[in-house]
Structure formats: structure tokens, C-alpha cells
Amino acid sequence: MSVEHYVQLVIDFVRAQHAWAAPVVFVLAFLESIVFFSLLIPAWSALVGIGALMGASGISFWPVWIAGAVGAALGDWVSYWIGYRFKASIATVWPLSRRPDLLPRGHRFMSRWGMPGIFIGRFFGPLRASVPLIAGIAEMPYWSFQLANFTSAFVWAWMLLMFGDFGFGLLAGLIRTYF
């Protein structure tokens, strides 16, 4: 089965079971933000799809938004902890072992951007989970990391959910207008 099929199953489940919207979004955002898991679970498309459901189905925005933001922030915290705990030895683990250039590039990115790099990295798929890992390896100060982590998580979750809601509303309006 394709990834799109699984994404659609998740969206269909939330459509049928509104009460599960926040827990599902929490888990998706959490897994999307953990280094290595994020490569296997492309949750952003499901989050956008759930955002599209929210306006049309009456699912409350606030609990879903908070669940997504907290899930993403906790996932990044886990990635930070993994980097802090295992340091450079993490380079021997797949997929980093196959791409030895990634950690040095990540270090350069963090050296250049610092705290704003955590915020920026949240919005770019390949960087999303690796930037917190590198912040941990580089021993970025914990509270500086968490400030950027939680701030960016709330903005990221809002953007994904609102993009789905706005995109769905825009598409529905175009369909009504032209068809």
C-alpha cells in the first residue's frame, strides 16, 4: 500500500471519529518530529488533510492545534536528547551512516543560525528532525533550544492546520464558482 493510502485512512478515521482528532494529531506531529522516524512517517500531509476537515466538520481548532504543537515540540525534544546523549556516535546509525556529509553540514547550519536555526529548521522537511539532533550534539543550551522549539512548534502546527483549512475552503469556493 502507498503512503497516500495510509494518509487517507488516517484522515477518514478522524472524519468519522472527531473526538480522536487531537490525539491523532499529537501522535503524528510527535513522530514527524523525531529524528529517523520522520523519514518513515510523512505526517505533514495527514496534518494538512485534518486541517481541511476542521472547517468542514466542526472539529474544534484549539485542542487540535495545541496537540499538534505539543507533539511536535516533544518530538524535537526527543531528537535533541538523542543528540545530546549519543553525540558523534550517532553518525554510525542509518541513514546518517550513508550520508557522512549531513552532520558536518548540520553543524555549519547551527553554527551560523543558532537559536533561529531551530525555528527555521522546523519548516523544512529534511531539517525538521535533524536540526534538534544536531543542537543536542552541539550542546546548545537547553532553555535556548526549548524556547525556539516550542515557539516554532506552535507556529508550525498553526500553519499546517490552517493551510489545510484555507486550502480546502479555497478549493471548495472555486468548485462552487466554476462548476
Residue 102 confidence (pLDDT): 77
Residue 171 confidence (pLDDT): 45
| Nearest residue to 119 (alpha-carbon basis) of 91, 155, 94, 168 | 155
Task: Write the CA distances from 99 to 81, 165, 174, integer angstroms.
Answer: 21, 37, 44
| Nearest residue to 137 (alpha-carbon basis) of 51, 176, 79, 75 | 79
DSSP string, 69-111: HHHHHHHHHHHHHHHHHHGGGGGGSTTGGG-TTHHHHHHHHHH
Sequence-separated (6 or more) residues with CB below 8 Å from residue 72: 29, 30, 32, 33, 122, 153, 156, 157
67 and 23 in contact (C-beta within 8 Å)?
yes
Burial of 162 (0-12, 13-18, 19+ CB in 10 A): middle
Look at residue 129 and give its three-state secondary structure: coil
C-alpha cell at 83: 543528540
The tens-digit pLDDT sequence of the chain (179 residues) is 777 888 888 888 998 999 999 999 999 999 988 887 776 777 888 888 888 888 778 888 899 999 999 999 999 999 999 999 999 888 888 777 887 887 888 888 888 998 999 998 888 876 777 899 999 999 999 999 999 999 999 999 998 888 755 555 444 444 445 44
Residue 56 confidence (pLDDT): 73
Residue 100 confidence (pLDDT): 81
24 and 50 in contact (C-beta within 8 Å)?
yes
pTM across the whole model = 0.86
Domain ranges across the chain: 3-178
Burial of 43 (0-12, 13-18, 19+ CB in 10 A): buried
Distance CA 159, CA 32 (A): 15
Residue 143 confidence (pLDDT): 96
Look at the block and give the residue holding cell 516554532.
152
